[in-house]
A and B are shown apart, each in its own frame.
Chain A
Amino acid sequence: MPKPPKSSSTLTPEQKKIITRRNFLSFATLGFGALGGVLGWNWVRKQPSVDGTVAPLRTMLETNGFLNETVLYSNAHLAPEYPRSAAAAEPRTNGDVGLDEDIDAGDWKLTITDTKSGKPLELVLADIMALPKTEIVFDFKCVEGWNEIQHWGGVRLSEVFRKYDLPTDFRYVGMATPDKAYYVGLDMASALHPQTLLAYESNGQEISFEQGYPLRLIVPVKYGIKNIKRIGSIILTNERPPDYWAEQGYDYHAGL
């Protein structure tokens, strides 16, 4: 086995000079690099917060979202679908923001506002249910990290756009619960994705209050946080609509 020298006594003065110089340069570089890293880290953490995330990281989340929308995303990319037998008997529930008030489907209506014409469209549940029904069994994914195969039935949002001749040239679609306590924003492409549904059925049954009766959003290309329950209003806009979880530090895009 090769032996390291036991002492520096065998080094020539020339070698000692080289060693000292190289060690000085290298360790100084490492030290300054480490210092720079620590200072940079502290700087990042002290930056003003933009919706619960420090500005530099928020910029990165936005950049990632932009790259996803421009490079990866396609409405031809579908969430894998499964046989109905694979679906959970009771879809898991997680959030209940916006579901506090009692609701009666007779009183409920959906208001769709186009911010250019400003003319609101009001639909009752029967209007929605009159449109062709689409069912999907897909792997629902929560931002927390769990996933569950679920079976939903409803109307394609794109079908509502088609039927009521709604403009698709807006950048965003915003949705809110009737009490405005929960709200989400979607990019238009995701809203028009063929698997994006306004759902009124779960496992072939009317959806429960906890699941957002009478109408909720199922948008498989997004995390669960975008799948708003009990939709009261939809707005078509070029200004980014507010988003409940994006205001609390989460990525606005939340795309899968």
Chain B
Amino acid sequence: MKETRIVEKHPLAVRWFHWINFPVLMVMIWSGLLIYWANDIYEIKLDSTTLIKFFPKAFYDALDLRARLADGMAYHFTFAWFFAINGLLYVLYLVMSGEWRFIVPKKSSLGEAWKVLLNDLFIKKYTHEKAKFNGAQRLAYTSILIMGFGSLLTGLAIYKPIQLSWLTNALGGYGAARLEHFCLTLGFCAFFLVHLLQVIRAGWNNFRAMVSGFELEEVADNPPEASEELTPIIDDNTPTQPTTL
């Protein structure tokens, strides 16, 4: 007969970092838009044709982003503390606990990420290795961490461009750092959309793991080790879930 195991997936600390970061990042993006509005110069052009304007009038109107620069700065420079501290504690936790091993890409990750992408776009079926995170996830979760760090650095570079002029210079100057900060934010938005879609696709079992910490897993007919432990600590060889990004 089939058995079900309760498998630990996300440690409590990671779940706290994740759910604190989510609203904090939302506030950072929202308040960042309030600031950006005051000098909204970015657009994507092909020759002289504007393809995308950041942002169209309707966008500012819909989100009530106009003429709130002071408001935006006050929120941004307050919540930046929460964003930075939560992020730094997360990195510290990853290092101290050894959890970084599940997230940092391996040699095979890039190739696997491509296969996962083809699979997720319904182009070519791919069943990933039994691992906590597949190659695409490893790349995504490491990238988002680097992006967060990048947002902190580019943010500091435009916040204190004279006291931290070494940093501003290293990032290519004030204007460059501002553009980098903006692009990273677009990257967070893109990550968020894909992440949301993938979480919906992966389903309840996967989502619950980011709240309650565990996943349920069906074990093949009476495997010898299945009866030994109720909640084995997961490792890289423990089978888990379908692709989640």
Stretch at the interface among B46-54, B96-104, B211-219: B211-219
- Please, which residues of chain B bring their CB within 8 A of the CB of A25? 212
User: What is the minimal beta-carbon distance from A116 to any residue of chain B, in angstroms?
Assistant: 30
- Report A-chain residues with C-beta under 8 Å of the C-beta of B218: 2-6, 10
Residues of B with C-beta under 8 A to A37 = 23
CA distance A191 to B157 in the complex (A): 23
Q: Which of A69-77, A125-133, A164-172, A209-217 is the interface stretch?
A: A69-77
Contact assessment for A141 and B161 in the assembled complex, using a CB-CB cutoff below 8 Å: yes
Query: How far apart are B27's CB and chain A's nearest CB, in angstroms?
Result: 8
Q: How far is the CA of A107 from the CA of B132 in the complex (A)?
A: 78
Q: Pick the contact of B71: A6, A141, A249 (CB < 8 A).
A: A249
Give, as a whole number of angstroms, the nearest-CB distance from A134 to chain B.
Answer: 17
CB atoms of B217 and A251 under 8 A apart: no
B164 is an interface residue with CB less than 8 A from chain A: yes
Q: How far is the CB of A74 from chain B (nearest CB, A)?
A: 7
How far, in angstroms, from A53 to B72 measured CA to CA in the complex? 10
Tell me whether B216 and A144 are in contact (CB under 8 A).
no
By a CB distance below 8 angstroms, the chain A residues around B162 are 77-79, 220-221, 256
* CB within 8 Å of B: which A1-42 residues: 1-6, 8, 10-11, 14-15, 18-19, 22-23, 25-27, 30, 33, 37
Interface contact B178-A1, CB-CB below 8 Å: no
Q: With A19-B216, A77-B165, A80-B169 known to touch, is A249 a contact of B74 (CB < 8 Å)?
A: yes
CA distance in complex: A144, B75 (Å):
15
A207 at the interface (CB under 8 A from B): no
Chain B positions within 8 Å of A249 at CB level:
70-71, 74
Taken together as a complex, chains A and B put the C-alpha atoms of A152 and B70 apart, in Å, by 28
Q: Is the CB of A147 within 8 A of B163?
A: no
A143 located at the interface, meaning its Cβ lies under 8 Å from any Cβ of chain B in the complex = yes
Task: Give the contacts of B192-236 with A (CB-CB under 8 A).
Answer: 203, 205, 208, 211-218, 230-231
CB pair A141–B174 under 8 Å, yes or no, is: yes
Given A143-B69, A249-B70, A250-B70, the answer on whether A2 and B240 have CB atoms closer than 8 Å is yes
A1 and B128 within 8 A (CB): yes
**Contact residues, A61-92 vs B (CB, 8 A):** 61, 64, 68, 72-74, 77-80
Distance to closest chain B CB from A221 (angstroms): 5
Confirm or deny: A135 has a beta carbon within 8 angstroms of a beta carbon on chain B. no
Complex contact A57–B128 (CB within 8 A): no
Chain A: which residue is nearest B239 at the CB level? Answer: A2
Question: Does chain B have a CB within 8 A of A204?
Answer: no
User: Is B77 part of the contact surface with A, judged by Cβ < 8 Å?
Assistant: yes
Q: Once bound together, how far apart are the Cα atoms of A18 and B230, in whole Å?
A: 10
Which of B6, B35, B215 contacts A18, CB < 8 Å?
B6
If A26-B211, A251-B77 touch, whether A10 touches B3 (CB-CB below 8 Å) is yes
Residue B13 at the A interface, CB < 8 A?
A: no
Distance in angstroms between the alpha carbons of A56 and B79 in the assembled complex: 12
Flag if A53 contacts B174 (CB, 8 Å). Answer: no
Q: How far is it, in angstroms, between the C-alpha of A74 and the C-alpha of B160 when the chains are bound? A: 12
- Besides A1-B128, A15-B230, A18-B230, 12 more A-B contacts (Cβ < 8 Å) are A3-B217, A4-B216, A22-B213, A22-B214, A23-B208, A26-B211, A61-B73, A61-B78, A78-B165, A142-B39, A144-B69, A251-B74
List residues of A whose CB falls within 8 A of some B CB. 1-6, 8, 10-11, 14-15, 18-19, 22-23, 25-27, 30, 33, 37, 52-54, 56-58, 60-61, 64, 68, 72-74, 77-80, 139, 141-147, 220-221, 245, 248-251, 255-256
Interface residues of B (CB under 8 A from A): 1-4, 6, 15, 19, 23, 35-36, 38-39, 41, 69-71, 73-75, 77-78, 81, 127-128, 130, 160-165, 169, 174-175, 178, 203, 205, 208, 211-218, 230-231, 239-242
CB pairs A–B below 8 angstroms (20 shown): A2-B242, A4-B205, A6-B218, A10-B1, A10-B218, A11-B216, A22-B213, A26-B212, A37-B23, A60-B74, A77-B162, A79-B162, A139-B161, A141-B161, A143-B73, A146-B39, A220-B162, A250-B70, A251-B74, A256-B162
Q: A-B pairs with the 4 shortest C-beta distances?
A: A249-B70, A145-B39, A2-B239, A144-B38
